[in-house]
Amino acid sequence: MAGRPKGSRDKRKAFRNALRMELAAAGGDDALRDIVKRLIEHATEGDIAAIREVADRLDGRPREALDMSGGLALSHEEALAQLE
């Protein structure tokens, strides 16, 4: 059997679950729309964090850049020579 045992709490999503419960208690979709409106207001006022959040939600978070400037330590031939 894969995954977590049936009936156990999903600890990875405890914050998300609590947030959803509180959001529902605060008015559900109407409360969520109010939050989104405030986020957009902050973004249009130039708040960089809000702008980044809106962009991440619309386009997805950018992938992390990998630094490949160091190159490979060994050439292909050198690596094969070490295996012999």
Q: Round to whole Å and give the CA distance between 27 and 35.
A: 11
Q: Where are the domains of the chain?
A: 14-61
pLDDT at res. 72: 55
pLDDT in tens, 12-71: 788 888 888 998 999 988 999 999 999 999 999 999 999 999 999 998 887 877 766 665
pLDDT at res. 79: 72
Check: CB of residue 40 under 8 Å from CB of residue 51. Answer: no
What percent of the chain clears pLDDT 70, i.e. is strictly above it?
A: 79
Check: CB of residue 23 under 8 Å from CB of residue 32. Answer: yes
Task: State the average pLDDT for the chain.
Answer: 82
Check: CB of residue 40 under 8 Å from CB of residue 57. Answer: no
Q: Round to whole Å and give the CA distance between 44 and 36.
A: 12
